[in-house]
Amino acid sequence: LAKTTQPISMDSYEGQEVNITCSHNNIATNDYITWYQQFPSQGPRFIIQGYKTKVTNEVASLFIPADRKSSTLSLPRVSLSDTAVYYCLVGPNTGGFKTIFGAGTRLFVKA
Amino acid sequence: DAMVIQNPRYQVTQFGKPVTLSCSQTLNHNVMYWYQQKSSQAPKLLFHYYDKDFNNEADTPDNFQSRRPNTSFCFLDIRSPGLGDAAMYLCATSRTGTGANTEAFFGQGTRLTVV
């Protein structure tokens, strides 16, 4: 499974757009990129998944360049409730995919 | 409605006394996982079941065992808990197959305290 590297922590203010970048230089051809959010004392929650270019849902956008060696999770207009740990994961999406977490990015949103 | 349910939410056990944590799912997913998460750390995969096939991670201690009697239920058994086993234990499920959207669904976790 491809190793991922993310910033350990980030600070932001309410209403700002937050971009968290993840490096995955040895991503394989059949690997997808998935992001999870985790609040204290809760299990992680799926945010978004993509393979290439751009994916958008009601919560976030995921930007993946052509070489797929990195990806950026974009959270529009964050609020205090977006304070959480965000994990980037890379792995195959077929049969027996194991969800293995990297260190994650602690996002602090301030008023 | 909760789709992955872990019981209990909080468990206190004595040093060396066997303890079992339970997980159930209503998603009919064929893969179930157990993770250990210590304070300020990422979840660490202990093992997973692909249907009935058990897959242990290489660095999971023998002290940790698991059972999956049917699709819906999975148990984590800690045979002789040590102080270092105090952690949040997370159960997750996913389905397999081609295509996207095979994300993992997590339960709320069981926080284990060893005294």
Percent of chain A with pLDDT over 90: 73
Residue of A nearest to B87 (CA): A41
Contact B96 A95 (CB under 8 A): yes
- From A101's Cα to the closest Cα of chain B, the distance in A is 6
Rounded to the nearest 5°, which phi and psi values hold at B84? Answer: -75, -5
Q: Which residues of B touch A97 (CB under 8 A)?
A: 31, 94, 96, 102
Tell me, what's the pLDDT at A101? 82
| A104 → chain B, closest CA residue | B42
CB-based contacts of B109: which residues, under 8 Å, 6+ apart? A41, A42, A43, B6, B9, B37, B88, B89, B90, B91
- In this prediction, residue B98 has a pLDDT band, given cuts at 50, 70 and 90, of very low
If you average pLDDT over every residue of chain A, what do you get? 91
Q: For residue A94, what pLDDT band results from cuts at 50, 70 and 90?
A: low
- Read off the pLDDT of residues A8-32 as tens digits, 9 standing for 90 and up: 999 999 999 999 999 999 998 888 8
Summarize the confidence of residues B5-33 as an average pLDDT: 95
**Mean pLDDT of the B104-112 span:** 94
**Angstrom distance (rounded) from CA A87 to CA A54:** 18
What's the CA gap between B102 and A98, in Å, rounded?
10
Interchain CB distance below 8 Å, B31 and A96: yes
pLDDT band with cut points at 50, 70 and 90 for residue B97: low
When pLDDT is cut at 50, 70 and 90, the band that residue A93 belongs to is low
CA count, 13 A, side-chain hemisphere, B48: 22
Asked which of A27-36, A93-102, B71-80 is least confident by mean pLDDT, the reply is: A93-102
Give the DSSP H/E element, type plus range, for residue A45.
Answer: strand A45-50
pLDDT of residue A2: 67
B49 band by pLDDT with thresholds 50, 70 and 90: very high
> d(Cα B41, Cα A103) in Å, to the nearest integer?
7
DSSP codes, B79-97: SS--GGG-EEEEEEEE--S
pLDDT of residue A6: 96
Average pLDDT estimate for B85-99: 83
Q: Which residues of B touch A98 (CB under 8 A)?
A: 33, 45, 48, 55
Model confidence at A1, in pLDDT bands (50, 70, 90)?
Answer: low
For residues B84-103, average pLDDT = 80
Residue A3 has pLDDT above 90, yes or no: no
Q: What is the mean pLDDT of chain B?
A: 92
pLDDT mean over A69-85? 96
